[in-house]
Amino acid sequence: MGNKTQELKNILDTNNYKLTSQRDLILQILADNEGEHLSAEEIYNIVKQRDSGIGLATVYRTLELFGELGIVQQLNFDDNCRRYELEENNNEHHHHLICIDCGAVIEFNDQILEEFETDLEKKYDFLVTEHSIKFYGYCENC
């Protein structure tokens, strides 16, 4: 059992879910495509190449579950579908610059925003658990 697989099994066990070949495969695909921001449909198409019997509903269900377990992050680039990427295991968030011309996605990390977030929490007596930060515009090629 591979390293990634064992880690997945641990998380699933802890939360009373079972390790299945479909879940394992979907995780591998996500890992193999680090840096991409794939939609469920795109993941489905890749997964099908290795397991032609898999169902689209299972892909959706698995991504939903992975989201709840903190394994993946769900993204919304306003292109009419949800996108997914592996959550990084260290707690170094990153966010996205999205080119509205060519669709390129650039990642940046958000150390600087930490302070801003803390200030907001105090000011509004609000406990931030998550944030979504996106900048839209034109990349260097466009």
Question: What residues line the site for a copy of itself (CB under 8 A)?
Answer: 76, 78, 97, 99-100, 106, 108, 112-113, 116-117, 119-121, 123-140
Q: Which of 101, 107, 117, 119 binds Zn ion (CB under 5 A)?
A: 101
* Integer Cα distance of 126 and 117 in angstroms: 10
Least distance from a copy of itself to the Cβ atom of residue 126, Å: 5
Instruction: Kindly tell me which of 32 and 92 has the beta carbon lying closer to a copy of itself.
Output: 92
Give residues with Cβ within 8 angstroms of 116, minimum separation 6. Answer: none
Pairing of strands 38-39, 94-99: unpaired
Query: Per rule CB under 7 A, is residue 19 in the interface with DNA?
Result: yes
Residue 133 contact among Mn ion, a copy of itself, Zn ion, none, beta carbon within 5 to 8 Å by kind: a copy of itself
User: Which two three-digit tokens encode residue 4?
Assistant: 């990634």
Torsion of CA 52, 53, 54, 55, to 10 degrees: 120
- Contact criterion met (CB below 8 Å) for 8 and 24: yes
Q: Which residues pair with residue 85 across a beta bridge?
A: 73
- Calculate helix-pair angle for 21-32, 40-50, nearest 10 degrees: 110
Q: How far is the CB of 122 from a copy of itself (least distance, A)?
A: 11
Asked if 57 is part of the footprint of DNA (rule: CB under 7 A), the reply reads yes
Task: Kindly tell me which of 11 and 97 has the beta carbon lying closer to DNA.
Answer: 11
**Where do contacts with Zn ion occur on this chain (CB under 5 A)?**
99, 101-102, 104, 139, 142
**Where do contacts with DNA occur on this chain (CB under 7 A)?**
12, 17-23, 39-41, 51, 53-58, 60-62, 64, 80-82
